[in-house]
C-alpha cells in the first residue's frame, strides 16, 4: 500500500546539540519505513518535523545522504513547534514527512564556479551544497562561501569552517552586523562583503539563502555585478501547511514554493521577490 504523504514517519533523535544561540542541530534516524523514503535526497530538499502535541513545521535537510545515516536539521527557536523541538533530547521521537521540494540541480552546476551566500539560519539548506561540492571537488570550479549573521554567536556550523577553508580552491568569507571583542573578520551586511570579495562572474552560479530582505538585496546586487539571472539561485521560505501542492498556502505568483521550489532561479521568481518582503 502507498504511504499517505500526510502521515509522518517516526524518527529518533540520535544527536541534539547547540549550534548557535537559540539554534540547535537535530540528527534524526528514521524508522517505520522512513529509512527507505529518505534513502536518497537532494541538497536543498526539506522535510516537515513534528513535535508531538505542538504540530509540525518545515525545515531544510542540512546534510547529504552520502555522509552517513541520519538527517540533520538546524532549528532556530521561534514559536510553538520550534520551541517544542528545543525541549527534546537524544532518544526522543519526532515525526518526519518528506523528502519534499525540488532541491538544487547539482548536476547542472558541474564545471561551474559556485558562489554560496548564507545569512543566519539560511545557512542550513546550503550546508548540503557545500558538503556535496567538497565530496565531489573535481566536478566543480572555485567555491566561494560568503557567510553572514547578525552577531558572531548566531553563525551556524562554525566547527566546520576549518574543513571548508582547507578544501582545494575554496574560500570562506565571514561577516556580522554587530561584532564582539574577539571578532576579527568583516563587519557589515553581506552585500558589503560581496562587493568587497567581488567573485568573478564568468561561468558562475550563485546560490543565496537567508531572510527575505537579505535575499532581495543580495540578488539585486548580484545582477548589478553581472551575474546572470538564469544562474542566480535562491531557496525560499513560505508559510506552509501541506507541503504537497494541495492547500495553496505557499503560493508565489503561479508557483507553489513547496513543490515548484523551494529552490528557484531568478528568471522564475525575480519579479515576485518583492512580495516576500
Ligand atoms: C522550505 C522551508 C525550509 C525551512 N528551513 C528552516 C530551517 O532549516 N531552520 C529553521 O529554523 N527554520 C526553517 N524554516 C522556517 C520554519 O519552518 C519556521 O521557523 C517554523 O515554521 C516556525 O514554526 P513555529 O511553530 O516555531 O513558529 P510559529 O508559532 O508558527 O510562529 C512564530 C512566529 O514566526 C512567524 N513565522 C512562522 N513561520 C514563518 C515563516 N516561514 N516565515 C516568516 N515568519 C514565520 C509567525 O508569524 C510568528 O510570528 C523553513 C521554512 C520553509 C518553508
Ligand atoms: S504548502 Fe500546501 S500548497 Fe504548498
pLDDT digits (tens, 9 = 90+) for 130-168: 999 999 999 999 999 999 999 999 999 999 999 999 999
Among 79, 240, 259, the mutation site with the greatest number of ligand 1 atoms within 8 A of its Cβ is 79
> Is 160 a member of any domain?
yes
124 C-beta neighbours (distance < 10 Å), count: 27
Q: Which residues of 33-67 are buried (b: 16+ CB within 10 A; e: fewer)?
A: ebeebbeebbbbbbbbbbbeeeebbbbbbbbbbee
Q: Is the pLDDT of residue 51 over 70?
A: yes
Q: What does the alpha-carbon distance between residue 50 and residue 243 come to, in Å, rounded to a whole number?
A: 13
Domain that holds residue 75: 9-100
Q: Is the pLDDT of residue 121 over 90?
A: yes
Domain boundary, last residue among 76, 100, 124: 100
Look at residue 277 in the predicted model and tell me its pLDDT: 67
What's the whole-model pTM score?
A: 0.96
> Using CA positions, which residue lies closest to atom 29 of ligand 1?
79
Indicate whether 26 and 135 sit together in one domain: no
Indicate whether 198 and 239 sit together in one domain: yes
Look at residue 33 in the predicted model and tell me its pLDDT: 84
Q: What does the alpha-carbon distance between residue 12 and residue 49 come to, in Å, rounded to a whole number?
A: 11
Look at residue 1 in the predicted model and tell me its pLDDT: 61
Continuous segment of H or E residues that includes residue 17:
strand 9-20
Continuous segment of H or E residues that includes residue 81:
helix 80-86
Indicate whether 127 and 187 sit together in one domain: yes
> Is 210 a member of any domain?
yes
> Using CA positions, which residue lies closest to atom 3 of ligand 2?
245
Indicate whether 123 and 204 sit together in one domain: yes
Angle at CA of residue 37, ends 33 and 43, nearest 5°: 150
Map residue 34 onto helix, strand or coil. helix
Domain boundary, last residue among 77, 100, 123: 100
Q: Is the pLDDT of residue 124 over 70?
A: yes
Domain boundary, last residue among 46, 79, 100: 100
Indicate whether 125 and 38 sit together in one domain: no
Continuous segment of H or E residues that includes residue 205:
strand 204-209
Look at residue 275 in the predicted model and tell me its pLDDT: 77
Question: Ligand 1 centroid vs 224 CA: distance in angstroms?
Answer: 30
Q: Where residue 67 sits, what CATH number does that domain have?
A: 2.40.30.10
Indicate whether 150 and 52 sit together in one domain: no
Q: Where residue 140 sits, what CATH number does that domain have?
A: 3.40.50.80
Map residue 65 onto helix, strand or coil. helix
> Is 157 a member of any domain?
yes
Ligand 1 within 6 A of CB of 209: no
Q: What does the alpha-carbon distance between residue 208 and residue 214 come to, in Å, rounded to a whole number?
A: 9
Q: Average pLDDT over the chain, rounded to whole?
A: 95
> Is 3 a member of any domain?
no
> Is residue 43 within 8 Å of residue 130, measured between CB atoms?
no
Considering its fold, how many domains does the chain have in total?
2
Instruction: Name the grid cell of 96.
Output: 518526519
Indicate whether 93 and 153 sit together in one domain: no
216: closest CA among 257, 266, 172? Answer: 266
Indicate whether 94 and 120 sit together in one domain: no
Q: What is the number of the ligand closest to the CA of 247?
A: 2
Amino acid at each position: 500500500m502507498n504511504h499517505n504523504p500526510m502521515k509522518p514517519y517516526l524518527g529518533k533523535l540520535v544527536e541534539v546539540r547547540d549550534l548557535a544561540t537559540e539554534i540547535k542541530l537535530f540528527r534524526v534516524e528514521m524508522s517505520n519505513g522512513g529509512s527507505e523514503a529518505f534513502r536518497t535526497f537532494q541538497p536543498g530538499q526539506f522535510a516537515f518535523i513534528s513535535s508531538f502535541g505542538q504540530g509540525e513545521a518545515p525545515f531544510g535537510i542540512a546534510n547529504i545522504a552520502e555522509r552517513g545515516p541520519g538527517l540533520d536539521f538546524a532549528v532556530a527557536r521561534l514559536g510553538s513547534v520550534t520551541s517544542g523541538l528545543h525541549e527534546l533530547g537524544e532518544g526522543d521521537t519526532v515525526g518526519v514527512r518528506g523528502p519534499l521540494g525540488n532541491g538544487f540541480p547539482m548536476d547542472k552546476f558541474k564545471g561551474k564556479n559556485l558562489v554560496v551566500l548564507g545569512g543566519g539560519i539560511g545557512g542550513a539548506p546550503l550546508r548540503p551544497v557545500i558538503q556535496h561540492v567538497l565530496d565531489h571537488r573535481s566536478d566543480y570550479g572555485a567555491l566561494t562561501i560568503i557567510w553572514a549573521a547578525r552577531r558572531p554567536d548566531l553563525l551556524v556550523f562554525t566547527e566546520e569552517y576549518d574543513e571548508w577553508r582547507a578544501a582545494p580552491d575554496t574560500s570562506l568569507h565571514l561577516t556580522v552586523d554587530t561584532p564582539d571583542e574577539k571578532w576579527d573578520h568583516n563587519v557589515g551586511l553581506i552585500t558589503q562583503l560581496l562587493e568587497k570579495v567581488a567573485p568573478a562572474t564568468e561561468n558562475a552560479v550563485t546560490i543565496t539563502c537567508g531572510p527575505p530582505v537579505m535575499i532581495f538585496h543580495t540578488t539585486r546586487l548580484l545582477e548589478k555585478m553581472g551575474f546572470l539571472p538564469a544562474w542566480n539561485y535562491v531557496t525560499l521560505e513560505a508559510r506552509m501547511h501541506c507541503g504537497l501542492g494541495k492547500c495553496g498556502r505557499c503560493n508565489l505568483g503561479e508557483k507553489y514554493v513547496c513543490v515548484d521550489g523551494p529552490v528557484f532561479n531568478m528568471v522564475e521568481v525575480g519579479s515576485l521577490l518583492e512580495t516576500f518582503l
